[in-house]
């Protein structure tokens, strides 16, 4: 920035109004130019590389043998064992205050004497290069005593089942019930009862960039600096300080560009904890970067549930009651620090939530198994809840001979039904508007007519529909209240610098969603500064204000509101300075495009001139002391636990009943996330979520054999959606601003995934309906489809 101060000469004729506009993400220019700086790109002197010897067994005891050959392997600096690491890193236990019965076994950075899943890190090799570290793994000698693993949730809960972990009293990790109204009477009085089993496969996030850390401990200053590919730097700062018994102030966590996260990079993993502990123990800089094979057996797994559900309706199609049971397959421990319970609890809370359900009885259970621990992955449990309800409604509509749109329309919850205080969060949904919009959008009658015509030619097309409601911008209700040290607010600190640039430090991190572009749009509009004068920084616990990070669709919903509040404060400060400086009544002043003027049009000064006066020459200001041009604001929902977004998705699929192949022909989303700050970014965010949902429904599955080995742990074997299998996805919006914030934005990061799974479930089963069969196992592989077709009577 040159030292020349810009002097404004004119007032812009119209305000910027950037909020709501498709502003491209200029900060991504770096990324398209190959100048991203991801974890493995961080340079800064020599580091040692870590490779882990990972357990080949799901459940075994072990004795470490001779490690000298490995230790003397070329390039090896040290071999580190679990016992050594336990000296500096205490074990951690997931505890949730509101779920005292949820007792997780303790977890160590490296296994000691026993292992509980295939892939658990056992011994660390620290070497000059990763290749040399991997070479040395072959020389490590360990005596294994293979034990019987627990691999099936149902069997795990039998009284005579072995335990997945010796610290457990039972494999039952979770049991929760939700009861509302009189369920027995509802089913007794029902004119129609439909019922179905649902199997949701085990998935993982497959972030294209694996997890990783670069950690340095400086014994001179006793400071630990950790670069990590993560979604929640403040959470990790807290965890490292606690586990390594260090003051919080001595731990700094930085997140560089993050190559995909989706909830997978929200947890504390043993391998990353071990790497950081090794940096502390050996006082040398280390890098650990998970490769793809390790990622499959260490990244959080998700979903994996068996659900049985029943719906009771009267003869006209009104829902009387919903009953469901879900059994979830967790891993060997409850993932730290947020636990593995979210998937099950969100099914319990969200299933049927979009509808008026007078009587409800839900029960979810989770079992500890000798598999990779499960945890948060995009949309957590909500897609299951939507899929179950939508599938049951379609079945009921078919049984009663009611139109599929009509049965939804007549049962949607409306504000008049929401009389309890606890229902307040659900007020103001736009379910009916979304339904009407999608019916028009997909041209339903025409689609249906074409479907009928093709059926006559033995071509089986299906139309899927999935209404969804979604928790976004989740507040302290979820983790804070449970005693989990994860910030639930998002914060923004704005500083007007002497250059006239507006520095925005925020806790609202991102991995490409475009949150920072959105924040800059909000700040530019609210403060009245040029968009390109704003510099957004994030991902550093030393310089950012405390906040959650990027999870639970919070960036714009919470971070955006914090940015708006901060910009309002900074605007007020600037105006008070100018009012005093220029002896003008503050109410007569305005700021636009970085120019402070009197409302009649007289230009007074630029933001830069204000900053220079305050920072460098306060003699011109009749103010003492000079005001601070740095303001910080936070936001978290207080009147409700989260902001509910809603919408509906539709899919058209073709099922080949000879080969079992499913082709997704077309896909539509109508979504209400309140104020849309940037449609360009929001729309592709939704599409990305949809594709992850389609992937879940059609391809993705962590396949385990009965010995607890994951048998498809490579990207060649675990199928993910690629461009050629995906359809174009049409996105449109209904806008119901969130009333709790001035911005009015709800979250949108998970919306695509919440509804897409159910849209594929209902589409496939609509396609199969002429055969009188139902497919009920996700992913809907050709095998699953053909098995369903063979059920034909």
Partner 1 sequence: MQVKNEADITLTINGQERSFNVPVRRNLVDFLRHDVGLTGSHVGCESGICGACNVRVDGVVVRGCLMFAVQADGCQVDTIEGITESGEAAELQQAFLERNALQCGYCTPGMLMTSLELVQSGKAASREEIREELSGNFCRCTGYHAIVDAVEHVMERAKP
Nearest approach, Cβ of residue 726 and partner 1 (Å): 5
CA distance 51 to 426: 48
Nearest approach, Cβ of residue 586 and partner 1 (Å): 40
Instruction: Work out which of 149, 514, 559, 758 binds partner 1, going by CB under 8 A.
Output: 514
Nearest approach, Cβ of residue 42 and partner 1 (Å): 9
Of 205 and 317, CB closest to partner 1: 205
Nearest approach, Cβ of residue 34 and partner 1 (Å): 2
Stretch that binds partner 1, among 316-324, 459-467, 469-477, 509-517 (CB under 8 A): 509-517
Query: Does position 292 bind partner 1 by CB under 8 A?
Result: yes
CA distance 530 to 523: 9
Query: Does position 680 bind partner 1 by CB under 8 A?
Result: yes
Query: Does position 303 bind partner 1 by CB under 8 A?
Result: no
Nearest approach, Cβ of residue 75 and partner 1 (Å): 11
Of 96 and 206, CB closest to partner 1: 206
Query: Does position 258 bind partner 1 by CB under 8 A?
Result: yes
Q: How far is CA 494 from the centre of its chain?
A: 26
List the one residue out of 784, 765, 781, 707 whose CA is nearest residue 397: 765
Query: Does position 52 bind partner 1 by CB under 8 A?
Result: no
Query: Does position 703 bind partner 1 by CB under 8 A?
Result: no
SS3 state at 15: coil
Total residues belonging to the chain = 793
139-198 positions binding partner 1, by CB under 8 A: none
Of 205 and 464, CB closest to partner 1: 205
CA distance 762 to 462: 8
- Which pairs with CB-CB distance under 8 Å and at least 24 residues apart come from 663-666? 663/725, 664/694, 664/698, 664/725, 664/726, 664/727, 664/760, 664/763, 665/461, 665/727, 666/442, 666/727, 666/728, 666/730
Query: Does position 238 bind partner 1 by CB under 8 A?
Result: no
Query: Does position 26 bind partner 1 by CB under 8 A?
Result: yes
Query: Does position 46 bind partner 1 by CB under 8 A?
Result: no
Query: Does position 665 bind partner 1 by CB under 8 A?
Result: no
Instruction: Work out which of 729, 734, 748, 773 binds partner 1, going by CB under 8 A.
Output: 729
Record the tokens describing residue 526, joined without a space: 């609210």
Is the omega angle on the peptide bond into residue 111 within 30 degrees of 0, that is, cis? no
Of 635 and 718, CB closest to partner 1: 718
Query: Does position 692 bind partner 1 by CB under 8 A?
Result: yes
Instruction: Work out which of 6, 16, 20, 40 binds partner 1, going by CB under 8 A.
Output: 40
Record the tokens describing residue 106, joined without a space: 């303790």
List the one residue out of 391, 543, 518, 519 whose CA is nearest residue 466: 391
Cβ pair 533, 627 in contact under 8 A: no
Neighbouring C-beta atoms of residue 739, cutoff 10 Å: 13
- For the chain, the maximum distance between any two Cα atoms, rounded to a whole number of angstroms, is 91
CA distance 445 to 448: 5
List the one residue out of 655, 671, 675, 457 whose CA is nearest residue 561: 675
Paired with 495 in beta bridges are 503, 630
Query: Does position 587 bind partner 1 by CB under 8 A?
Result: no
Cβ pair 234, 253 in contact under 8 A: yes
Query: Does position 373 bind partner 1 by CB under 8 A?
Result: no
List the one residue out of 381, 334, 335, 340 whose CA is nearest residue 362: 381
Nearest approach, Cβ of residue 791 and partner 1 (Å): 33
How many residues sit in the footprint of partner 1 (CB under 8 A)? 57
Query: Does position 28 bind partner 1 by CB under 8 A?
Result: yes
Residues 6+ apart with CB under 8 A from 617: none
Stretch that binds partner 1, among 32-40, 50-58, 360-368, 696-704 (CB under 8 A): 32-40
Stretch that binds partner 1, among 251-259, 384-392, 429-437, 639-647 (CB under 8 A): 251-259
Query: Does position 298 bind partner 1 by CB under 8 A?
Result: no
Query: Does position 690 bind partner 1 by CB under 8 A?
Result: yes
Query: Does position 700 bind partner 1 by CB under 8 A?
Result: no
Query: Does position 684 bind partner 1 by CB under 8 A?
Result: yes
Cα dihedral 585, 591, 595, 600 sign: negative
Stretch that binds partner 1, among 323-331, 546-554, 588-596, 690-698 (CB under 8 A): 690-698
Query: Does position 65 bind partner 1 by CB under 8 A?
Result: no
121-140 positions binding partner 1, by CB under 8 A: 131
List the one residue out of 102, 38, 83 whose CA is nearest residue 328: 102
Query: Does position 119 bind partner 1 by CB under 8 A?
Result: no
Nearest approach, Cβ of residue 438 and partner 1 (Å): 17
Residues 6+ apart with CB under 8 A from 29: none
Instruction: Work out which of 13, 14, 34, 706 binds partner 1, going by CB under 8 A.
Output: 34
Instruction: Work out which of 410, 584, 665, 715 binds partner 1, going by CB under 8 A.
Output: 715
Query: Does position 21 bind partner 1 by CB under 8 A?
Result: no
Record the tokens describing residue 552, joined without a space: 């639970």
Nearest approach, Cβ of residue 541 and partner 1 (Å): 21
730-789 positions binding partner 1, by CB under 8 A: 752
Report the relative pairing of strands 460-472 and 359-367 from DSSP bridges: unpaired
Query: Does position 291 bind partner 1 by CB under 8 A?
Result: yes
Paired with 121 in beta bridges are 54
Of 49 and 202, CB closest to partner 1: 49
Helix (H) or strand (E) holding 382: helix 382-400
CA distance 750 to 218: 40
452-481 positions binding partner 1, by CB under 8 A: none
Query: Does position 535 bind partner 1 by CB under 8 A?
Result: no
CA distance 747 to 682: 10
Nearest approach, Cβ of residue 213 and partner 1 (Å): 16
CA distance 550 to 522: 18
List the one residue out of 599, 584, 597, 600 whose CA is nearest residue 9: 597
Which residues are at the interface with partner 1 (CB under 8 A)?
24-26, 28-29, 31-38, 40-41, 131, 205-209, 257-262, 291-292, 511-514, 680-681, 683-692, 714-716, 720, 722-726, 728-729, 752
């Amino acid at each position: 920035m040159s030292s020349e101060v810009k002097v404004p000469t004119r007032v812009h004729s119209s305000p910027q109004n950037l909020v709501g506009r498709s502003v491209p993400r200029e900060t991504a220019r770096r990324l398209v130019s190959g100048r991203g700086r991801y974890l493995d790109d961080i340079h800064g002197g020599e580091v040692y590389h870590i490779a882990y010897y990972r357990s080949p067994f799901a459940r075994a005891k072990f004795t470490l043998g001779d490690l000298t050959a490995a230790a003397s392997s070329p390039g090896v600096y040290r071999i580190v064992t679990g016992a050594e690491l336990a000296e500096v890193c205490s074990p951690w236990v997931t505890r949730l205050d509101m779920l005292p019965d949820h007792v997780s076994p303790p977890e160590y950075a490296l296994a000691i004497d026993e292992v509980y899943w295939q892939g658990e890190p056992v011994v660390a090799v620290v070497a000059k290069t990763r290749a040399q570290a991997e070479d040395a793994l072959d020389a490590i000698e360990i005596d294994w005593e293979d034990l019987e693993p627990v691999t099936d949730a149902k069997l795990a809960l039998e009284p005579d089942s072995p335990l997945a972990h010796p610290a457990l009293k039972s494999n039952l990790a979770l049991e929760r019930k939700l009861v509302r109204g009189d369920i027995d009477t509802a089913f007794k009085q029902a004119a129609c009862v439909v019922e179905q089993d649902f199997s949701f496969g085990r998935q993982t996030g497959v972030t294209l960039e694996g997890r990783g850390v670069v950690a340095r401990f400086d014994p001179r200053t006793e400071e630990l600096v950790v670069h990590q590919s993560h979604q929640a730097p403040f959470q990790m700062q807290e965890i490292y300080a606690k586990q390594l018994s260090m003051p919080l102030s001595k731990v700094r966590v930085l997140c560089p560009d993050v190559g995909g996260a989706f909830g997978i990079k929200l947890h504390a993993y043993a391998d990353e904890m071990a790497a950081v502990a090794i940096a502390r123990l050996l006082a040398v800089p280390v890098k650990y970067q998970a490769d793809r094979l390790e990622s499959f057996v260490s990244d959080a797994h998700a979903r994996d549930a068996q659900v049985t559900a029943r719906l009771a309706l009267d003869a006209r199609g009104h829902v009387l009651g919903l009953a469901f049971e879900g059994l979830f397959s967790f891993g060997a421990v409850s993932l730290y620090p947020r636990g593995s319970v979210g998937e099950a609890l969100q099914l319990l809370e969200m299933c049927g939530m979009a509808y008026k359900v007078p009587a409800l009885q839900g029960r979810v259970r989770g079992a500890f198994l000798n598999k990779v621990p499960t945890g948060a992955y995009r949309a957590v449990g909500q897609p299951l809840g939507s899929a179950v309800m939508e599938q049951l409604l379609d079945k009921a509509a078919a049984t009663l001979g009611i139109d599929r749109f009509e049965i939804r329309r007549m049962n949607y919850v409306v504000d008049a039904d929401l009389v309890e205080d606890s229902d307040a969060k659900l007020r103001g949904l736009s379910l009916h508007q979304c339904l009407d919009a999608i019916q028009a959008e997909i041209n339903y009658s025409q689609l249906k007519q074409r479907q009928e015509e093709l059926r006559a030619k033995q071509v089986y097309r299906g139309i899927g529909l999935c209404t969804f409601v979604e928790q976004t911008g989740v507040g302290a209700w979820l983790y804070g209240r449970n005693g989990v040290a994860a910030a639930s607010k998002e914060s923004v600190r704005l500083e007007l610098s002497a250059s006239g640039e507006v520095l925005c430090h925020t806790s609202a991190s991102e991995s490409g969603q475009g949150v920072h572009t959105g924040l800059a749009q909000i700040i530019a509009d609210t403060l009245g500064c040029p968009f390109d004068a704003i510099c957004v920084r994030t991902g550093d616990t030393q310089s950012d204000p405390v906040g959650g990070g990027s999870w639970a669709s919070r960036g714009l919903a919470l971070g955006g509101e914090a940015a708006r509040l901060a910009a309002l404060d900074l605007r007020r400060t600037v105006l008070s300075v100018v009012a005093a400086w220029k002896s003008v009544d503050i109410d007569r002043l305005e700021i636009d495009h970085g120019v402070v003027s009197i409302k009649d049009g007289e230009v007074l000064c630029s933001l830069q001139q204000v900053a220079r006066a305050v920072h460098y020459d306060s003699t011109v200001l009749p103010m003492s002391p000079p005001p601070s041009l740095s303001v910080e604001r936070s936001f978290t929902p207080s009147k409700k636990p989260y902001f509910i977004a809603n919408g509906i998705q539709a899919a058209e699929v073709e099922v080949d009943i000879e080969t079992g192949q499913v082709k997704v022909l077309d896909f539509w989303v109508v979504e209400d996330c309140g104020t849309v700050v940037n449609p360009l970014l929001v729309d592709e965010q939704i599409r990305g979520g949809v594709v992850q949902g389609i992937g879940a429904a059609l391809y993705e599955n962590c396949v385990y054999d009965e010995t607890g080995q994951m048998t498809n742990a490579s990207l060649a074997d675990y199928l993910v959606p690629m461009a050629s299998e995906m359809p174009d996805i049409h996105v449109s919006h209904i806008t119901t601003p969130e009333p709790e914030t001035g911005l009015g934005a709800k979250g949108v990061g998970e919306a695509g995934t919440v509804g897409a799974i159910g849209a594929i479930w209902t589409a496939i089963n609509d396609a199969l309906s002429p055969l009188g069969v139902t497919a009920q196992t996700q992913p809907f592989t050709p095998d699953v489809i053909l098995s369903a077709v063979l059920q034909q009577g």
